[in-house]
Amino acid sequence: MKRALEYTVKPVFKVLDDTASEYPDRIGFIEPGKGEYTYGEIKNLSDLLAAKLLKDGLSKGERVLVFLPNSIEFVVSYYGIQKAGGIVVPLNTLHTDRELQKYIPLVEPAGVIAMSDFSEDRESLSRLGGFKYMIQAGSDSFLKTLGEQSRTGVYFPRINVFEDLAVIPFSSGTTGVPKGVALTHSNLCCNIQQIIDAHELFPEDVFINHLPFFHIYGMNVLLGSPVFMGARQIILSGFEPEVLLDAIESFGATVLFTVPAVLNHLVKHSDLSSRNLKSLRFLNIGGGALTPEIGATFTSATGVTVNQAYGLTESSPTTHANPLARIKHDSIGLAIADTFAKIVDPRTLEELDPGKTGELWIKGPQIMKGYYRNPEASRETLVDGWLRTGDIARVDDEGYTFIVDRLKELIKYKSYQVPPTELENLLMEMAEVVDCAVVGKPDEEAGELPVAFVEPRDRSVTEEYIKDYVAARVAPYKKIRQVFFVDSIPRATSGKLLRRSLKIRL
C-alpha cells in the first residue's frame, strides 16, 4: 500500500526561519576557508536582504535572477528573495551572453544578484534585462553591507504556498528552447519531506554539497533537505576529487549526493582505497544512470553503500529512490511516499501492465504547476495531473522501476542537459556547413559527449575550426567534442532528422 506522509506545508523560507527559531546557535553552513554560519545568522541575513529588496521596489511575484556559484551568498539570496515575495530564477554561472538572451526575456526579471567580479557579465546582463536594480555579491562586502541594513518598517508579504511560485529553474525540451519550470512553495516543501523520508536522513547528518545550487538537485535535495532538519552542510563551489575527499574526511560527512561522472572520477582516483570514508552512511547517485559495476567498485574500495534515485526539474526533483535496506543497483528504486507512477504506451496513451516497456508517468505533490508562461508545453507534459517524463521504463513485480531509454533527445553530459537542436542551429549559421546533426556519444566518465555529424560545403573546413566556432558561443559543457564529416545527413521524406541512424555509427 502506498505510504503517506503528514506534511508540514509552508513557504520555503519558513523552513529556514523555523529551524533558526529552534536551533539559532547551531552551525548549519560551512564554506571551507571562508567561514561558518549558524542558522540564526543566515535567517538574519536573509531577513535583511528581503528588507533591502522591498525597499528597492521589488513587488510580490517579480522574478530575480541569481547568478551565483555555491556560496553563503547564494543561500542568503535564495531565502531572502522568497521572503520578499520574489521568485528565484537560478542561472548557470557558465552561461554566455548568447544563452542568456534566451532565458531573460522569458521571465522578465526585475533584478539580478551576480558575482561582484563579473563586471563584464553584469554589463551584458543589464543590457539584456533593463533591471530595476543589480546587487553585487561574491565578496565580504555583500554580507557586510547587509549587516548594516535595517528591516524596521518593512513587512514581508503573505504567501499562498499552493499558488505562489518559489523558483523558476529551467529545463530544455527537445527543441532546445528553454522552458521555465514553475515550482510552488508547496512543491518544494513537500518534496523535501519526501526526500528526507525516502533517503532516511537525520538532523545529525553532515552533507557535502558540491553539486550546483542553481540546479534543482543541488537546490532542493542538497540545500533544502538539511535546512528542514537542522543538519549541517559543507558548501563546496565545485568538484575536485582531492577537495571532495578531503572534505568528507575533515568534516565527517555522513551522506554524499552526487552524479555518475563524479563517482567515475572517484573510482579512478589513485588513493581512493587509502582514504577514510567510513563516516559516510551512503553515496546516492542522481542526475543520470548509475553503472552497477562502478558502484560496486566504489563500495569494494571504501565500504560505502552506493544507491540510485531519480527525479526531474519538473518534479522538484525526486520521485524514486532505492530503500537502503533493499537496493537494486540497476534500478532507480521505488516511487517515494505519495508519489504514483505508471507505464504508458506513448502512442496510445494506454496504461501498460507490469513488465511492459513504455513511458514513465508520475503524479504527486511535488509535480510542477506547469511551464512558466508556456501553456502549450504545459498541456503536452501534464495530462490530468500526471507528468510525462519522456523516459522509457519498465516496472518489475516488486514495484522497482528501471529506466530503459528516453524519448527526449537531450544529451546528458555529466549533470548537465545539452539540447542538440541548439548546437545544430549554431552550426547552421556557418557558411561552411550545408547540413548537420548533433547526437550524444556514450562516454564512461561523462555519460554522453556532444558530437556533430557535418555535411561540409567543401573539404577545406577542419574539425578544429568547427569545434572552436561552437566553443566560443556556448558554455563549456555544451562544446562539440568530435566532428564527423559525412556526404549527407540522414532525414526522412518529411525532412525529420534521423538521429538514431547516426547514433548507431558511434
| Confidence at 494, pLDDT banded by 50, 70, 90 | very low
In the prediction, which pLDDT does 139 show?
Answer: 64
Among 13, 386, 3, which residue's Cα sits nearest to residue 198? 3
In the prediction, which pLDDT does 114 show?
Answer: 86
In the prediction, which pLDDT does 176 show?
Answer: 56
Distance CA 409, CA 497 (A): 11
- Each residue of 59-95: pLDDT tens digit? 999 999 999 999 999 999 999 999 999 999 999 888 8
Among 252, 159, 173, which residue's Cα sits nearest to residue 208? 252
Please give the average per-residue pLDDT across 146-161, as a whole number: 86
Please give the average per-residue pLDDT across 364-368, as a whole number: 98
In the prediction, which pLDDT does 119 show?
Answer: 47
Q: Which residues of 339-360 are buried (b: 16+ CB within 10 A; e: fewer)?
A: bebebbeeeeeeebeeeeebbb
Please give the average per-residue pLDDT across 222-229, as a whole number: 98
Distance CA 38, CA 20 (A): 8
Cell of residue 191, nine digits: 518534496
In the prediction, which pLDDT does 332 show?
Answer: 97
In the prediction, which pLDDT does 12 show?
Answer: 98
Among 72, 110, 75, 82, which residue's Cα sits nearest to residue 14? 82
Give the dihedral sign, CA 282/287/293/298: negative
> What is the β-pairing status of strands 340-344 and 358-363?
antiparallel
In the prediction, which pLDDT does 491 show?
Answer: 79
DSSP state of 287: S
User: Is 124 in contact with 145 (CB distance < 8 Å)?
Assistant: no
Query: Nearest 5°: phi and psi at 404?
Result: -100, -45
In the prediction, which pLDDT does 260 show?
Answer: 84
Residue 115 has pLDDT above 60, yes or no: yes
pTM as predicted? 0.87
Among 295-304, 372-381, 409-418, 468-477, the minimum mean pLDDT is found in 409-418
| Confidence at 102, pLDDT banded by 50, 70, 90 | confident
Query: Nearest 5°: phi and psi at 288?
Result: 165, 170
Residue with cell 555535411: 455
| Confidence at 362, pLDDT banded by 50, 70, 90 | very high
Please give the average per-residue pLDDT across 89-106, as a whole number: 86
Q: Which residues of 226-264 are buried (b: 16+ CB within 10 A; e: fewer)?
A: bbbbbbbbbbbbebeeeebbebbeebebbbbbbbbbbbb
Please give the average per-residue pLDDT across 343-349, as a whole number: 93
Residue 437 has pLDDT above 80, yes or no: yes
In the prediction, which pLDDT does 134 show?
Answer: 80
Among 158-172, 279-293, 401-415, the minimum mean pLDDT is found in 401-415
The pLDDT > 70 percentage for the chain reads 94
* Most confident among 99-103, 358-362, 406-410, 490-494 (mean pLDDT): 358-362
Domains, the chain, ranges and CATH? 12-393 (3.40.50.12780), 411-503 (3.30.300.30)
Residue 506 has pLDDT above 90, yes or no: no
| Confidence at 173, pLDDT banded by 50, 70, 90 | very low
**Rounded to a whole number, what is the distance in angstroms from the first to the last CA of the chain?**
44
In the prediction, which pLDDT does 418 show?
Answer: 87
What mean pLDDT, rounded, does the chain reach? 91
| Confidence at 174, pLDDT banded by 50, 70, 90 | very low
Please give the average per-residue pLDDT across 282-291, as a whole number: 88
| 425/206: higher pLDDT | 206
Give the dihedral sign, CA 253/255/257/259: positive
